Structure 1
């Protein structure tokens, strides 16, 4: 067996042994849909926002109800002589009645504020989902990059063995052995850095899920597909909670304007008065019978300057709410265009690495391996070809992670809770 054959067999044996090791999977896998499901069910920040909205929804029943009646009693420690006899005490009950329609407007304003708060919880859910997806994308990136590094490490072991064989028989330079050793050292340092990055991603995910001490095995996610035949602007305007929240604020502002205008009208009061009269012989008109009377009252709105200021404030807030809706719709359309552009560029980058650069690097490695085994290409040239393939593989990993980040940003821009559902559903 020639020296070239020995080196080739050692190299190919090492590469064959490295392949299954690089693709080994841990049994405990974590999927993105499971992460988002746990987030939406258990995140305390999201739960707090939802509970606040539910609490605010009870305010309509409070402000839309009649005010409590007023009861009073007057007892005369000294006799009060009246035409009917001596008055001992007087009992009074009064109910204030806001101008018709006022209570309904108060309820409408409170319900609109509660609806805005409920939609605010949906905004929080979208923000948390985007953060969780980005942390998950970091986990995917570090995991796949570590697999690429370990696979290259295994191939370097085979390279080292082949270089050592040629060096021992005087057919290869010692520099080849040193180059392999330095490359292995750099890969070990890169694995350490990837480990640190993975730990940071796990902790970021733990913070979003509110799970201290979270441990993650292997993460699995299919690549998202980008929409091609959907009107994303119209879809986003219909799905984005910020738009619905701005519309709820307009409804609240309209009710506040109507309430401010209704303040010009008086509130009415009705009541009953019962007078306790003691039996007596004097005066001659005394009957000794108790008295019952009806009463009415009016709250007169005299502060016209104050009322006009209240109406002006409410109308200005209404105009501000309408302006915010317009600004929100513009921002939504800009967000969609920006996120869609980033997603398409990321998808193009993935396609470039997967369909062009990676096949070219594999062809270069195969050509260099053939030349190395026949002695027409030196070891360092072959190692450079392997380095180029390694860098392309890492570039593909980074491009896939950027695509998942871009899909998360696009889902957030459109108003979807996850990039794994329509319109970003996997092909």
Structure 2
């Protein structure tokens, strides 16, 4: 290569290197700026994202707290109160009684009559052509007010009967919900027990194949597993039946799923008393209202012995005489009228009074009978609460001891291959204790729900 060509190539390489270096510097600077901008953008985006995530999490937490505060059982009670057809019928009966009360306390309709003389009646001043009469009857003093009071008391009684029906509906919904809860817990406990039994089977089978245990141990565990499977299937069938009963109370499809995600906490403290039951229970209030209505009916029966008084006015149109001229010729006639009813049939009136008094005795007997029934139910409920609490204490003690015994038997069987029959029996005893504990909890909560029914406390929550 000659010298000029070499110099040319050298200069080109030099300028090329400088150009590449310059491009690298510019690219590095641009990349740095882009990374800075990108980092700033990421910081802003991350801050906003973190802020939104924090906000969303807060909303979910508050919603979760609200969901926990609002029990699904309360939702079902509200649905039952709104959809149950029998309860709607009770409410319509109250509306009917209320409308009937609005019709009382007013005067009877006035009477208006019209008569036309086909053959005119001749009088001195002319022939009578037509007759127009209007009259109004007035019951004896106090009758209208007493009727209104009686109808109002009956409407009040119908309302309290509606409240009693709703109170009883709430108790039925709670009871069915408890039965569903019981079956769900039985399924859960039985499933866990089945899982434990199935874990015994391969161990026992391995020991049998190793000639460490007899065939009876393997057969025993297989029989116990089959029994648990059958029981689990029966529990599922029972749950389906109870589900239909529960949804019937809510007047919806029988197969609608029911959410049961609560635990039955034991609370032995309460502020209710029998005195509050005998005052606030809707059935008692309904009986009291019926007594008030009957008292008004007795007064009405006595007032029927008094006469009704009516006033009226007759107008007679008289034609003028054409055959002569006289004073007051053709003068129309106005006749004021006074009417008095005569309650002279004393036997009938005495029978009405006697009927009202007997009716009062019937309702009074029902009222005092209901009080006695509520006292008995209250005492039974308190007994159930106390016995359930004692049963739970006893069962807790037995469960702890049985679990200790089960651990010992498992250790003995694992190490020495003995007492397998006792192991299975203890495992099944633990299962029965767990199921009995659930039943005692159900018994305790059911008694609490009965107490709420007696005091009407659930009704106050939905007013």
The TM-score by the shorter chain falls in which range?
Answer: 0.7 to 0.9
TM-score after normalising by structure 1: 0.86
Q: d(CA) in 2 for partners of 1:30 and 1:253? A: 43
CA displacement, residues 211-245 of structure 1 (integer Å, 9 cap, x when unaligned):
13332254133325555453521121122111111
**1:265 deviation in Å?**
1.1
Q: Which moved more, 1:223-232 or 1:65-74?
A: 223-232
1:229, 1:407 → 2: CA distance?
A: 10
Change (3 A) 1:366 1:396: same
- Shift of residue 168, structure 1, vs aligned partner: 1.9
Do the aligned partners of 2:248 and 2:254 also contact (CA within 8 Å) in 1? no
What is the CA-CA distance between 1:325 and the residue it aligns to? 2.3
Aligned equivalents of 1:282, 1:332: Cα separation in 2: 89
Calculate the aligned-residue CA RMSD, in Å.
Answer: 2.2
State the partner residue of 2:15. none
Q: What aligned pairs does 1:62-77 form with structure 2 within 5 A after superposition?
A: 62-77=103-118
Kept in 2, the 8 Å contact 1:76–1:89? The answer is: yes
Alignment of 1:264-413 (within 5 A): 264-282=305-323, 284-285=326-327, 287-353=329-395, 355-375=396-416, 377-413=418-454
**Residues 165 and 200 from structure 1, CA distance in 2 versus in 1: closer, same or farther, beyond 3 angstroms?**
same
Structure-2 separation of matches of 1:59 and 1:189:
59
Corresponding residue to 2:151 among 88, 110, 119 = 110
Aligned residues of 2:272 and 2:455 also touching (Cα < 8 A): no
SS of equivalent residue, structure 2 residue 213: coil
Equivalent pairs counted in the alignment come to 392
Residues 243 and 254 in structure 2, CA contact (< 8 A), matched pair in contact too: no
Larger RCO (CA within 8 A; separation ≥ 6):
1
Quick check: 1:99–1:266 contact (8 Å CA) kept in 2?
yes
Task: Looking at secondary structure, tell me which structure has more helix per residue.
Answer: 2
In the superposition, the TM-score normalised over structure 2's length comes to: 0.80
> Taking structure 1 as reference, are residues 225 and 266 closer, same or farther at Cα in structure 2, changes over 3 Å only?
farther
Which position in structure 2 is the counterpart of 1:263? 304
1:85 aligns with 2:134: no
Q: Which runs of 5+ in 1 are unaligned?
A: 1-28, 422-427
For the residues of structure 1 that align with 2:410 and 2:85, how far apart are their CA atoms? 56
Assess, with a 3 A threshold, how the Cα gap between structure 1 residues 225 and 183 changes in structure 2: closer, same or farther: closer
**Aligned to 2:253, what secondary structure does the other structure show?**
coil
3-state SS, counterpart of residue 394 of structure 1: helix
Q: Structure 2: any 5+ residue segments left out of the alignment?
A: 1-69
CA distance in 2, matches of 1:70, 1:250: 35
Q: Is the 8 A contact 2:243 2:258 kept in 1?
A: no
Distance 1:337 1:209, change over 3 A: same
Which is greater in Rg?
2
Corresponding position of 2:279: 238
Deviation at 1:192, TM superposition (A): 1.4
- Structure 1 window deviating more from structure 2 (404-413 vs 298-307): it is 404-413
**CA distance in 2: counterparts of 1:34 and 1:318, whole angstroms:** 41
